[in-house]
Amino acid sequence: MAMGAGVKGERSWIVSCPRISSSTGKELDAGRTLKYAHTGIMINIRQATPEDLLAMQAVNLACLPENYQMKYYMYHILSWPQLIFVAEDYNQKLVGYVLAKMEEEPSAEVHGHITSVAVLRSHRKMGIAKNLMLAAHRAMQENFKAKYVSLHVRKSNSPAKHLYIDTLGYKVHDIETKYYADAEDALDMQLRFEEPAPKASSAATDKAQAVAH
């Protein structure tokens, strides 16, 4: 399963496509961690640290046909540490990650990009990919006020498209022909974040209370 990054030459991949219940979609706590159980297996999702990079690269090498040099991981975690998350099992073994960034080219709207996400085969279909993506989405909104997030995925990658479209709500924005090294087309996908409901002003609140009374 595969997807590419926002600049030609980069590659982003997805290797887990779970269908999970809403019960695993809990929010990260203030410490930026999420713990949940799936069929008795505890999964911990937290912000990555530089010490995680070697393990992240190992997951990438184990799962994906196209890989990154260590300096590329370092570039992401030094530039956008808030957007990089890892998943651990109960033995604190790193079993998945999401590598994300904010787009740097001038744009009318601030938006993020999912560069890479991978989950070990032994830990697929546990909700890990979805929760890693949701963690990155939330961090983009909270830290950078992102309006939407983008990613690329191979046209032939049906499992990844199912996760993005059916589970997470992404929509196809464009098709980039011969995007990948083997000349396969990529779907440029986007997910627009919902705007938070505006808080009522004190005056409006007072008026509402007066009407209620």
Whether residue 23 lies inside any domain: the answer is no
Tell me how crowded residue 55 is: count the other CB atoms within 10 A of its CB.
16
* DSSP helix/strand/coil, 198: coil
Whether residue 81 lies inside any domain: the answer is yes
Residues in CB range of 196: below 8 A, 6 or more apart: none
Q: In Å, how far are 17, 36, 66, 76, 154 from 185, measured between CA atoms?
A: 20, 36, 16, 25, 6
In a structure prediction context, what are the per-residue pLDDT tens digits for the chain, which is 213 residues long?
A: 334 343 344 433 333 333 333 333 445 554 466 777 666 678 999 999 999 999 999 998 898 766 889 999 999 999 999 999 999 998 999 999 999 999 987 767 899 999 988 899 899 889 999 999 999 999 999 999 999 999 988 899 888 899 899 999 999 999 999 988 889 899 999 999 987 645 544 444 444 444 444
Beta bridge partners of 148: 111, 192
Structural domain harbouring 111:
34-151
Whether residue 82 lies inside any domain: the answer is yes
Q: For the whole model, what pTM was predicted? A: 0.76
Q: Measuring CA to CA, which residue among 175, 174, 168 is closest to residue 193?
A: 168
Whether residue 201 lies inside any domain: the answer is no
| pLDDT at 23 (0 to 100) | 33
* DSSP helix/strand/coil, 76: helix
Angle, CA 89 vertex, CA 84 and CA 90 arms, to 5° = 135
| pLDDT at 107 (0 to 100) | 67
Residues in CB range of 184: below 8 A, 6 or more apart: 154, 155, 156, 178
Whether residue 60 lies inside any domain: the answer is yes
| pLDDT at 64 (0 to 100) | 72
- Tally the domains of the chain: 1
> Look-up: residue for tokens 């609140």?
205
CATH number assigned to the domain comprising residue 64:
3.40.630.30
